[in-house]
Structure 1
Amino acid sequence: MTINCKGQLIDLSQPKVMGILNITPNSFFDGGRYSGDAAILTKVGKMLDEGATFIDVGAYSSKPGAEFVSAEEELNRIVPVIQLLVKHFPGIIISIDTFRSEVARACIENGAAIINDISAGNLDVKMLDVIAKYNVPYIMMHMKGTPETMQSMTEYEDIVKEVLLFFSEKVSQARSLGINDLIIDPGFGFAKTIEQNFEVMQKLELFHNLELPLLVGISRKSMIHKSLAISADDALNGTTFLNTIALTKEAHILRVHDVKEAVECVKLYEKLNS
């Protein structure tokens, strides 16, 4: 199972790690930490040295109740960072965390290789056309509503069945436009209660019925720290545990704040199964 990133085939038969770079002032865990060039380069250099295959850059916080950020501000935040990273880290594979087609377009034209869309195209009807035009891998995440409203939209009769149906429809739509490289993300923490998040994790192997790479992003999220009555700062151990569970259910990509620990999970999991 491979994806084509700017002509480079990435083999996902061995799980890969995607390091998170939030350049927002208000992200739930690391907001405001990486606002200057030096801090950004240090952070990204560290994640690459620790074994990250992908770097996921986001300039719009999608935490529950996140405030609105204009497209202009998102572009002003993210494009210079893409240019900075491409200049200093030749060969870097950059993923862009955005639901806006104009942001996706600008970032691809400046060197990004993957688009990571929390809405799977639902928040911008032009997104799939941009993905098809530039033929880049597209991460489709499940969410209902918007970041501002999603936590009031947690009613499901059968959450896994409904999320699978959502992806079936989205994959069909993307395929009809000729989009080849699709990755699915169940959307832990998005329009889901803590109990629903754990149900999705428990049944994660069912998503392989879609026959697509599976990304899991549970790093330091509330399903961990609220369950343990701790802060996000103290949720690394819980994150490592659930990342390991995700690997046993054959997740292909772990999206994380802490690359070293996730890479170690992958190495030990591979050793166990070699």
Structure 2
Amino acid sequence: MSTTVLKLSFIAALFILPLSSVAQEFQGQAYYFKKSKLELGSWGARMSEAQKKQIQMRLKNRLEKTYVLNFNKEESYFDEEDKLDAMSGATDSWGKNFSPGESYKNIRDKQLIQSQEFYGKLFLVKDDLPAIKWKIGKETKKIGEYLCIKAMATIPSDQLTWYDFSWGQLRNSEQNEDQDGETDEPQIALTVVEAWYTPQIPVAHGPGEFWGLPGLILEVSADDTVMLCSKIIMNPKNKLKIEAPDKGKEISKEAYKNTITMKMKEMRDNRGRRRSR
């Protein structure tokens, strides 16, 4: 994905406080704007431009989000800012079931703790932080007042979207089952990730699932989504609260993914039985 996407619109409004010095122990707060492209596939080919625009407006709260990352040397807390749907004034209840919740990362212990709500039930996902094999390049650019270095990685797609659900993936997995009920070895989908990090803020944190570079990640592009930092506040006057969520049924990433997949299959099958009556 080209890094020029959104760049002009963001840089004009970018406001990042310069970092004059880094204390041995410090805190910071980074704001990120996330924007995703709407992919309608073959279905969209049958739609008019007016229809596409209407759908994009209705899904605006899913395609554009703002997040905050609180961090210190070892820990970070990442969560979405509350945002109402511009069309209806209501939160997106369907999308909320498959969106990332409050996320805590401890890079010293290589631990992820994330709160996820699925149809009213709260889960506490605890798992290891996945190792990301970054390839650091020589290309640089400025984001606000910070000099950033480009890094690339190829990451299994499921590792980035374990909290999400796709009917397409479910159909593909069911089609791979042979007549004996055995499942063919699935092909692992991969996502190419481009990140820009700044050594001026020497922490290994980043937005979402991304971490592990020798500096704070200020921009990251994966598939049709871009996250770009719009503001950084270093050592705020009021101490930041960086704590892991602690409510919900404890579960691993894999178990959580299996849980929501089984629930969605159950909902689909129940609808099918009702229609056949």
Fold agreement, TM-score > 0.5: no
With normalisation by structure 2, the TM-score equals: 0.26
With normalisation by structure 1, the TM-score equals: 0.26
The structure where strand makes up a greater share of residues is 2
The structure where helix makes up a greater share of residues is 1
